[in-house]
Amino acid sequence: MSSESDWRPIFGHDEPYDDQIDGIDAAIETAERSGFLALEGACGTGKTMLALTAGISLVRDPDSPFERVFVLTSVKQQLKQFEKDLRTINANLPDDWRAVSAMTLVGKADVCPYNLAGSGGIDDRNVYERCEGLRDRTRGLVSEETTAGSLVADAKSQQVGLADSQRGATYLEAAAEPTPYPKEMPEYGGTVEYCPFYAQYLDDLPEDGDPVEAVPFDPTDRGLIETDDLVRLAAGRGSCPHSVMGALLPHVEVLVGNYYHAFDPTTVESFTGELIDEETFVVCDEAHMLEPRVRELVGDGVSDRALSNAENELSRVIEPVAAVEEAGTEARYGSDAKQQATAIREALAETDVTLGELRDTRRFLAALVDRLDDRVTAHLDEERPRWRENLAELDDDELPLRDPETPATDELTRWAEQNGFDARIWTRAESVCAVTGRILDTIEEEDKRRAAPPVGQTLGRWYRADHTEFFREIELERTWDDIHPDGSWRRAYTATYRLHNCLPAGAIGDRLDAFGGGVLMSATLEPLDVFAEVTGLDHLESEAERPVRTRAYGLEFPAENRASFALAAPKFTYSNRGDTDEATPTRRAHARAIRQVATSPGNVLVGMPSYREAEWAASVLSAVDKPVLLDEATDDVATERLKREFFEGGPKVLVTSLRGTLTEGVDYRGDRLSAAIVCGVPIINTASPRIRAVRTAYDRAFGDGFEYALSVPAVRKARQAIGRVIRGTDERGVRVLCDERYAKESWDSVRDLLGEAEREEFNPVGTDMFDYALEQFWGE
């Protein structure tokens, strides 16, 4: 068992907090027994350093089975914090210790030299398709035509030829580093494009041995390899940065990624699967988001456009064979068509898929498209009779395919059975569509992602998934596409057959069970018993006999520096507050509280349940002598611009939705924020069919679906917002939860859902005494 003396050299600061000492010891001791620590720690209490210290200590322990730490976070700001703490650890290691090797995982778009340089016909929109196509052709050339070394030499010789010409060499640059190749994509024999970076990687790859031998630099003492470092070190030596990153995965002590890298089935299968084993210590940061994020990742869906594209792809395999097989068509189609048909027949002969199955699946896809059109049209005719003349006014919508509160077979599956599309059609679709994709990759040179394989996978999952934990619906997403005619719903909507995993606890627990142990942490995990249930941790403890320990740490900073209030204003619910243009008693009480907090010295954050309510809150601040900034549902660029404006210059008020990105993962350190008020309990729309299905699934699994699926996540949103205020020992501020449900015990009270430390700190206060309480704090 490790002791403090073992991990103290790794800890990156002079003195840990008491809670950090306890947390590090608990994490190490639990992981040594193949268990997990669920840890809540208030903002600014050093959870990142705690988790890294525990994990690296286990990796460096020669008696420990752990070989690496795998950090998962859903917030970019937190990813940067892990990188910062890794640099701090390496900067303060004893002189005779080697640096902790670490790497941040990114996608192809972030490291492809051609994409970064904007050349070779590659950009953010097609980088994945182009990359896969170029890799396939490069591998094909190496296996059938030439060698990887020859391809590299040819690409370099094109550059040498340019250097000898009057124009001079024009080297491709990536991360400000020149590469050995020209800016344009090289071609073998003047006809076949290939990637010289991938060819160099293949040339360096040993026939028998570890792929790390193909890494063109020594990663041992480099510490944290950031994205620019990876591009510069790999591409500068002519090798593929993404392939080099993959080769390094098992050999780096700390990997920093996001939830996709562990919970998205496609990413795990294609890239990170070898990291998910008993030798990996996992750190799930912002773990209060684990449940909703994984629910999205383990769900599925197929759009009407994807179905049509997959149908077209099946036709491109079926029709050449059918045409040549018809009597008298060889002369019409010529020898090229006959060769293509022969190639398709030979490819099919190597699989268990028949031409008849291709035809059956194509007919099924066409029927699904027609059914979707009929269902959407009938829905709009019933709900919005004049929708064809008012396409621009349509909003997102959901069409449930069963009663959300009564688990049963969905109407699409029943319709398919009634129309002759039986279990064989559904279950064979995955194989049929996968074979279609492989054949098209062989006979067509265009670099693109095939629609058929993922469509087939979705159809297979749709049929196999049960009808209790999974909910099926048609999702209408508001878009705009001018290629469709006036009066077509497709002009305004993208329609998707959507398969929702209402209860992701099983998927989360199964994936965690594959790791050797770890830490799941956040500033807002309470109630910890609920967290253990909805993430499958309790199942791991009871069934897999893997210990689960919990810790909850409050703010260690001076209590006199903060004032925390649970303001007993009327419940800010829709039935109480009325519409935004109504001056109800509830709205008047909350408007007064918002103005009172907004007059606090310094920057003030106002968190509302929705963007519409945020707009209302901003409107009641006209009399406040500060600039008022309103966050709206816009893009990331606009949000970043707004955040910078808030931080710069004099005091301001920032009003936002608690569903936005400005109340989680943003560092309001120092004097960036002096007060925050949250109005209401931000429970999501309970009328949504999907949310009703989730609530029903939670009712059946845990007994109280409203609390588990709705109230707990909503309170965590509120706690995240008010947690932005106090981040360090010298910071002062006010934190206000404005709604009597935070202050009083009642049938719908959420006070018990606060952390124990918060229940002690957030003193209930009446609206008549609130002004005095604020003045008393700021006066002191």
Q: Mean pLDDT in the chain?
A: 92
pLDDT value at residue 568: 97
**Is residue 457's pLDDT more than 50?**
yes
> Contact at 8 Å (CB) between 590 and 619?
no
Q: What share of the chain is helix, strand, coil (3-state, %, to 5)?
A: 50, 15, 35
| DSSP label at residue 625 | S
| DSSP label at residue 561 | G
Residue bearing tokens 């910078």: 644
CB atoms within 10 A of CB 560: 9
Give the containing element (helix H, strand E) for 679: strand 675-679
> Contact at 8 Å (CB) between 612 and 656?
no
Residue 389's Cβ-side half-sphere holds a number of Cα atoms within 13 Å equal to 2
Helix residue spans in 670-752 (DSSP H): 689-702, 705-706, 712-722, 740-743
pLDDT value at residue 190: 85
Dist. CA 485–CA 490, nearest whole Å: 8
Among 655, 660, 572, residue whose Cα is nearest residue 618: 655
**Is residue 166's pLDDT more than 50?**
no
Dist. CA 416–CA 420, nearest whole Å: 6
pLDDT value at residue 291: 94
**Is residue 157's pLDDT more than 50?**
yes
- Write out pLDDT tens, residues 245-255: 999 999 999 99
pLDDT value at residue 162: 46
DSSP 3-state assignment of 337?
helix
CB atoms within 10 A of CB 227: 16
| DSSP label at residue 105 | -
> Contact at 8 Å (CB) between 49 and 83?
no
Dist. CA 177–CA 230, nearest whole Å: 11
**Across 515-525, average pLDDT:** 96
- Write out pLDDT tens, residues 708-721: 999 999 999 999 99
- Write out pLDDT tens, residues 51-88: 999 999 999 999 999 999 999 998 777 888 999 999 99
Using only C-alpha atoms, the chain has a radius of gyration, in whole angstroms, of 29
Dist. CA 375–CA 261, nearest whole Å: 36
List the beta bridge partners of residue 501: 470
pLDDT band, very low/low/confident/very high, at 3 (cuts 50, 70, 90)? low
Dist. CA 410–CA 58, nearest whole Å: 49
Dist. CA 198–CA 240, nearest whole Å: 5
Burial class (CB in 10 A: 0-12, 13-18, 19+), 624: middle
Among 610, 554, 606, residue whose Cα is nearest residue 577: 610
Residue bearing tokens 């609130």: 770
DSSP 3-state assignment of 415?
helix
**Is residue 327's pLDDT more than 60?**
no
Dist. CA 152–CA 149, nearest whole Å: 5
Dist. CA 753–CA 742, nearest whole Å: 9
List the beta bridge partners of residue 193: 187
**Across 670-693, average pLDDT:** 94
In percent, the amount of the chain with pLDDT more than 70 equals: 96
**Across 549-565, average pLDDT:** 93
**Beta strand spans in 228-279 (E):** 254-257
Dist. CA 435–CA 453, nearest whole Å: 8
pLDDT value at residue 255: 97
Among the ranges 117-126, 208-217, 464-473, which has the highest mean pLDDT value? Answer: 464-473
Q: Report the amino acid identity of residue 316.
A: R
> Contact at 8 Å (CB) between 365 and 307?
yes
pLDDT value at residue 164: 44
Dist. CA 660–CA 678, nearest whole Å: 13
Among 47, 31, 32, 40, residue whose Cα is nearest residue 551: 40
pLDDT value at residue 123: 87
Token representation of residue 335: 């020898």
pLDDT band, very low/low/confident/very high, at 447 (cuts 50, 70, 90)? low
Dist. CA 209–CA 741, nearest whole Å: 62
List the beta bridge partners of residue 284: 72, 520
pLDDT band, very low/low/confident/very high, at 7 (cuts 50, 70, 90)? very high
> Contact at 8 Å (CB) between 541 and 547?
yes
pLDDT band, very low/low/confident/very high, at 335 (cuts 50, 70, 90)? low
List the beta bridge partners of residue 476: 397, 495
Specify the range with the lowest mean pLDDT, choosing from 131-140, 163-172, 236-245, 440-449. 163-172
Specify the range with the lowest mean pLDDT, choosing from 6-15, 318-327, 551-560, 624-633. 318-327
**Is residue 540's pLDDT more than 60?**
yes
Q: Nearest 5°: CA angle at 316, between 122 and 328?
A: 140
- Write out pLDDT tens, residues 347-396: 999 999 999 999 999 999 999 999 999 999 999 999 999 999 988 889 99
**Is residue 329's pLDDT more than 50?**
no
